[in-house]
A and B are shown apart, each in its own frame.
Chain A
Amino acid sequence: MAKKYIVIGGSAGSFQTILGLLEALPKNYPFPIFLVLHRLKNISSGFVEALSIKSKINLLEPNDKEIIEAGNIYLAPANYHMYAEFDNTISLSTEEAINHSRPSIDITFYSVAHSLREKAIGVLLSGANKDGAEGLKEIKEMGGITVVQDPNDAQIQTMPQAAIDLFKVDKILTTEEIINYLSKLHFLYV
């Protein structure tokens, strides 16, 4: 089991932040990362490749029941919800869309909150709906750390602002600060 598990949710306006983060994360990064991005459900090819261009870390769309391993980035596949299970595996589902989204950020945040509790670090980025706010609150309630992109820095404020309006988040950071925080996290939790 890793010491920390990072879960990132993003929607419209978050792509450049994600690319910047993936470029900055060092090889042999010791934490698993779950990445949930709102995306077109009928287009599955090309997205992983686009995100992987500058990443030094292995980025993949997991299969159901795949074992979670440190140093991998697990991108929620198009048209599936992604759960972190208690037995350190990933479950996928085709349940109803939530906040008009499948994958839903709330679902992955919820599962990480309850499966990984204080080991979870949730990060919510730019987006045009309120997906992720409730799930991030659950991460906080279960003892995890919550990070939200500064709405003034986000291309679209709705999603991070929804979390800030809902509960007291731990950190409100700009894109640059988020990248800096996550890329140096392993120095804090070795």
Chain B
Amino acid sequence: MITEKKYILNRNDYKTIIDFVREKYSVNLSLYAYTITKRRIEYFFSQYNIENINQLINFLDREKFWISLYEFLIVPTTEAFRDSDVWSKFSKKVLPKLSGLEKIKIWMPEVSSDDELFTLLVILYEAEILSKTSVLITSELDKTETNIKNQKFNQKKFTTSKQNYLAYNPHGCFENYFSNGNFFIKKELFENVTFSRFCFTKNDIQNTNFDIIIFRNRMLYYSPLLQKTALDIIYEALIPKGFLLIGLRETLNNWALKNRFNLYEKDTNIFQKKK
């Protein structure tokens, strides 16, 4: 990926981009992890043989390039059933706590691709609670719903995802969740899924009282400031004793917030909101 000939951004260049994008498109890129964002911008523009910052800003001035860059900056998830042990614990220890509820509400913020949503829907289906569960998917991008519903499941990820799934459920049949043996996820899995555009820094979440919020490996790309903003909103959106899943290498340690959650399952980063 970094084998491309590229223009290396210095600190001033980066600030110029931040200021320009904030002014023109009202997006604050300084709220994202610096080195990761910088490298992705450099890679993106390596494809256009950019030679200096002025040329780069001229590109960004055209909205279609900006949108393409913005989409590229939002990192897709890697595969379905990533960290299968976490999902096993989720299925065995969290879902039974909620099985007596008439309705279950789940929020997945900042969804960038289909893997984690697909994983959740399969687990809910196999637990026979899919029909009584509503899942809200939010994303900063308009295209997320279309991408997830209408695109084929990434074939490169299929083999890894299937291996992960079989680690989760050795007796299951992964192919059952795709229509007619091809790579389209079965539509019926999406029946209780709603999509909405949402950004932690711009919007208030309209629905609250979620029983579960799944927010895995998204904070990796946030600055500490944006992490705090997101976690404050998530905390308020969860019911007391509701569950929060974050990525295995993410932590709540930097926040006073950690005192408002208990680690529910060791080695999973499944937390439970205190009363």
> Could you list which residues of chain A lie within 8 angstroms of chain B, going by C-beta atoms?
41-42, 61-65, 77, 79-80, 83-87, 91-96, 98, 102, 104, 106-107, 110-111, 114-115, 134-135, 138
In the assembled complex, B75 has its CB within 8 A of some CB on chain A: yes
Task: Give A116 Cβ to nearest chain B Cβ, in Å.
Answer: 11
Q: Is the CB of A63 within 8 A of B249?
A: yes
For B167, give its contact among A42, A79, A84, A106 (CB under 8 Å): A42
> Would you give the shortest CB distance from B273 to chain A, in whole angstroms?
21
Which of the 9-residue segments B30-38, B96-104, B170-178, B183-191 touches chain A?
B30-38
- For B139-175 the 0/1 string (1 means CB < 8 A from A) is 0000000000000000000001001100100000000
Minimum CB–CB distance for A51 against chain B, Å: 18
Chain A nearest CB: distance from B89 CB in Å?
15
Nearest A residue (CB) for B8: A114
Please count how many residues in chain B sit with their CB below 8 Å of the partner chain's CB atoms: 34
Most buried by A among B34, B35, B217, B220: B35
Determine if B34 and A93 form an interchain contact, defined as CB atoms under 8 angstroms apart: no
Show the binding face of B for A, using Cβ within 8 Å.
1-3, 8, 33-36, 38-40, 75-78, 82, 84, 160, 163-164, 167, 217, 219-221, 224, 227, 247-251, 253-254
Cα(A42)–Cα(B34), bound, Å: 28
CA distance A115 to B35 in the complex (A): 8
A84 neighbours in B (Cβ, 8 Å): 35
- Max count, chain A CB within 10 A of own CB: residue among B8, B76, B219: B8
**Given A80-B249, A110-B39: A94 and B75 within 8 A (CB)?**
yes
Cross-chain contact B163 with A111 (CB below 8 angstroms): no
Known: A63-B251, A64-B220. Contact between A83 and B36, CB under 8 A?
yes
Contacts of A61 in B (CB 8 A): 249
**Chain A hits for B221, CB < 8 A:** 93
Q: Closest approach, in angstroms, between the C-beta of A49 and any C-beta of chain B?
A: 15
Most buried by B among A65, A77, A79, A106: A65
Known: A42-B163, A134-B2. 10 other contacts (CB 8 A): A41-B160, A42-B167, A64-B247, A83-B35, A93-B33, A93-B221, A107-B39, A114-B8, A114-B38, A134-B3
- Among A95, A111, A115, chain B packs the most CB atoms within 10 A around the CB of A95
Judging by beta carbons under 8 Å apart, are A93 and B1 in contact?
A: no
Measured between beta carbons, the chain A residues less than 8 angstroms from B1 are: 96, 98, 104, 106-107
Residue numbers in B under 8 Å from A96 (CB-CB) = 1, 76
- Asked if A93 contacts B163 (CB within 8 A), the reply is no
A86 contacts B2, C-beta separation under 8 Å: no
Knowing A94-B75, A134-B3, say if A86 contacts B34 (CB, 8 Å): yes
Q: Which residues from A are CB-within-8-Å of B75? A: 93-95
